[in-house]
Structure 1
């Protein structure tokens, strides 16, 4: 019988599985080079494939195991550096795994849940952002039908979740500003917008060690929103000596608009961010921030989804990638332009106590 199969040009994944005495899913994992199979099983599958002269051509393999050979990625938008970095990491790794990527942008869609469900029929699995309002509902609705992975969201039974560390990093960043003598700090960004931002605000509060903290400034995370907030500061509506921004896009736009209005950073007010986008190291003063591995998150998401599609069980809990505090000049440190990431025990390199900003200063400086 083996010889008959060997002469058969129509050998399929089914015949390989039958000859090897394993499941079709095991054959798929071996052929795709993913994990989840023992060395013994791998050798049996490879031996059967060789005996049958089986070559898993893309179209044939997709039909045999009902695969589209495509990963779905659902993002709110592509504006701003975070989403583009995440997409680059995800698409690069998916391509290395021989998978295409189908992208869905949620902003502006009338029925995101419906569009995501339609996307699920065209891909083998989905990755979604925890900040999307439909993520939990869609993930539970697809559970058991299509693998779903969530980035920067809450873990759910049977649905894998990954993210970057937020709470401790925000606590260290805030404590660093307090170490500079800043006493009127504001958190800029809406914690209700996403689980990871909520964790950053909790870290901000924790750094005050029981001292009263003001409510967060609940604004979106776009450049224009940061500029509008800075205008409020310049107009005297907001008083603070440091702004802890939920992302670098807010921090950079706030810092730029304040400087244009005559407010000195960090002498009058400190401004810090989150993400460590490329521009953070080139502005003057350099932006103190927290570096999170956005591109690595994208790569890991593609890896984990591919494993799930191949039959691996979902990991329990939330897998966390580390972040790093990066000290530059906007917090008050006398940092060089090419400042390196600080450790958790980093101390301010010079104590600079800012005064609360009430209105535009008559002085103007350039960074």
Structure 2
């Protein structure tokens, strides 16, 4: 039995059957009763694909990431997928790392889904504007406000200022920002701007090839191996920071006695590093979950309360910056 048989038996359109079964739109009481009676008589078991076809929908969301490696992206994706699953939607993931013709890939994905989530500056702005103008429900994570899309990001600047102020309180005077930003206005750029506002010319940006342990290790070896190096290394994320700690150890330097190191994100490895990593905790899984709910609201036609949302972050002080909290955390 198909949704078409149910519609014929009830004397209604397949779209009405779909709305009655999913509760996604107004259906008069007597009409709903006719649909449910037809479902029972025909012993109809609705399939997601059939109902979505009747509604002109795909029952799938798309999400575009720069890559899928590392704990940060994993946590965001878990939060997103958990909520999407609760809402009855499958998820099609596009990772752009190492891919050619990104514009065409994103456009092709947009034609297969009911709505799209894009992470950071992964997709060129002109393509974002094109998708928004087409009416496709669109949510941007870690992105500045943009017309036609809901934007979500974690707070960066205030926590970066708090971290820099804390390090000044320890008496450090020479700083490096390891993992300098690639794009103006992205999360790492906002962290850099916050740190720079407090430390001024006392902090030097140092670019890494990527935001990874390996890239942090490679850049920190050069940075810490040179004479007159920094007293404190503020890292763009925890993975870069863990690489910096490995580099310091390789060079025979003690963290934090010879050089302080801080990170950002509060991934699990940050809590169990030796020394435990001072960092800024951001709600990675909640970021993904909020994105999934915001997109579902857009798809359902019930616009969100506001177009730009900022999730709060928290400075977490541990041993790697020279502070030894009670209990050795």
Secondary structure at the residue paired with 2:273?
Answer: coil
Q: Is contact 1:159–1:314 with CA below 8 Å preserved after alignment?
A: no
After superposition, the CA RMSD in angstroms is 2.5
Name the structure 2 match of 1:8.
9
Deviation at 1:322, TM superposition (A): 0.7
- Distance in 2, Cα, partners of 1:138 & 1:276: 32
The yes-or-no answer on 1:138 pairing with 2:127 is yes
Name the structure 1 match of 2:55.
65
The yes-or-no answer on 1:206 pairing with 2:197 is yes
Secondary structure at the residue paired with 1:50?
Answer: helix
Deviation at 1:101, TM superposition (A): 0.5
Secondary structure at the residue paired with 2:261?
Answer: strand
Residue in structure 1 matching 2:295, options 302, 305, 308: 305
- Distance in 2, Cα, partners of 1:229 & 1:28: 59
The yes-or-no answer on 1:329 pairing with 2:325 is no
Name the structure 1 match of 2:3.
none
Q: Is contact 1:7–1:52 with CA below 8 Å preserved after alignment?
A: no
Secondary structure at the residue paired with 1:216?
Answer: strand
- Distance in 1, Cα, partners of 2:21 & 2:124: 28
1:286-322 deviations in Å (ceiling 9; x for gaps): 0000000111111111111111111123554420111
Q: Is contact 1:281–1:337 with CA below 8 Å preserved after alignment?
A: no
Aligned pairs, number = 314
List alignment gaps of at least 5 residues for structure 2.
1-5, 40-45
- Distance in 1, Cα, partners of 2:258 & 2:165: 19
1:98-156 deviations in Å (ceiling 9; x for gaps): 11000101011111111010011111111011231x24222211113311110000111
The 1:180–1:155 alpha-carbon spacing in structure 2 relative to 1, beyond 3 Å, is same
Matches within 5 A, 1:1-367: 8-9=9-10, 11-12=12-13, 14-15=15-16, 27=19, 31-32=23-24, 48-53=31-36, 57-132=47-122, 134-143=123-132, 144-193=134-183, 195-208=186-199, 211-219=200-208, 220-236=210-226, 239-313=229-303, 316-336=306-326, 339=329
- Distance in 2, Cα, partners of 1:261 & 1:51: 77
TM-score by length of 2: 0.87
- Distance in 2, Cα, partners of 1:28 & 1:228: 59
Q: Is contact 1:158–1:316 with CA below 8 Å preserved after alignment?
A: no
TM-score by length of 1: 0.79
Runs of at least 4 residues of structure 1 off by over 6 A?
A: none
